[in-house]
Amino acid sequence: MKVALVTGASKGIGKACALRLAKDGYTVVVNYSSSDAAAKETLSQIQAAGSEGMIYKADVSKLDQVKLMIREVIKAYGRIDVLVNNAGIVRDEYLLMISPDTLDKCFELNVKGYIYCAQQVALKMFKQKSGVIINMSSVSSKFALAGQSVYSATKGAVNSLTQTLAKELGAYGIRVNAVAPGFIATEMIEAIPEEKRKAYVEQIPLKRFGTADEVANMVSALVSDQFAYVTGQVFVLDGGLSL
């Protein structure tokens, strides 16, 4: 049995990753922080795909909650083979409007949350002498978008973190890579006014938004043995936006 933990997996990219890993034969732990109904729906779809799993409510920016979650997963399944660090937050604010609350929330979830989860999962992967960690980054880490200085800073940190963890953990058989999606058709994009959406599409060479399933396909490939010799890399999935 192979076990995958996906954070922020009740909807969007996290949900797509959880479902794809279930189809790949993983037992999937669906972490979420608020949407009980959505998390249960993700789990029921995992079970419908013929796989097993559990839901676990935890705020990954809180170390005590992360420790408890990992303990419960190990108690239930005995191992963790894959961690997808996906739970995150976007708050677009121009420099002069950035509030301390935005800074704190974004860095706590997008950076500290990733570190806490990687730290606690790595402790278990050490014993297995194997494991894969995928950090969800963003094209914003490489491509400047006005109003996203805080978000970009957190995702730039994720890229650097990915490289350093790859170097630290490689000797233990643990690979660490990042996926940096561009504009993906999720609820977040749908909330943007139509005119603005059209303007965004115009900037993309492939002239469309990506899908959550396309991101999940990349995650699926990266955790597989096909990419057994790849670590410390950031894979951009943006339809050419950042070119």
> pLDDT tens digit string along 62-78?
999 999 999 999 999 99
- Taking residues 160-180, what's their average pLDDT? 98
Q: What is the pLDDT of residue 196?
A: 85
Distance CA 221, CA 217 (A): 6
Residue 119 lies in a domain: yes
- Whether residue 162 contacts residue 177, with contact meaning beta carbons closer than 8 Å, is answered with yes
Structure tokens of 44? Answer: 């029921």
- Whether the pLDDT of residue 191 is over 80: the answer is no
Q: Which structural domain range is residue 200 located in?
A: 3-237
pTM across the whole model: 0.96
Provide the pLDDT for residue 130. Answer: 98
What pLDDT sits at residue 180? 98
In a domain, 65, yes or no: yes
Q: Among 138, 118, 144, which Cα is nearest to 186's? A: 138
pLDDT at 169: 98
CATH code of the domain containing 210: 3.40.50.720
Q: What is the pLDDT of residue 60?
A: 98
Q: What is the pLDDT of residue 221?
A: 98
* Residue 242 is assigned to a structural domain of this protein: no
pLDDT > 90: percent of the chain: 93
Residue 104, classed as helix, strand or coil, is: helix
Strand partners, 54: 29
Instruction: Please give the tally of structural domains in the chain.
Output: 1
Domain membership of residue 71 (yes or no) is yes
Give the Cα-Cα-Cα angle 220, 120, 129 (nearest 5 degrees).
65
Return all residues near 98 (Cβ < 8 A) that are at least 6 apart: 149, 150
Give the model's pLDDT for residue 238. Answer: 97
Residues 133-162, mean pLDDT to the nearest whole number: 96
Residue 243 lies in a domain: no
Please identify every residue annotated as catalytic.
Answer: 151
DSSP 8-state secondary structure symbol assigned to residue 210: B
Tell me the mean pLDDT in the region 193-218: 94
Q: What is the mean pLDDT of residues 132-144?
A: 96
Q: Please compute the mean of the pLDDT values over residues 122-148 and round it to a whole number.
A: 95
Q: Dump the DSSP string for 148-195.
A: -HHHHHHHHHHHHHHHHHHHHHGGGTEEEEEEEE-SB-SHHHHTS-HH
- Judge whether 137 lies within some domain: yes
Residue 43's alpha-carbon distances to 70, 93, 103, in angstroms, are 18, 34, 32
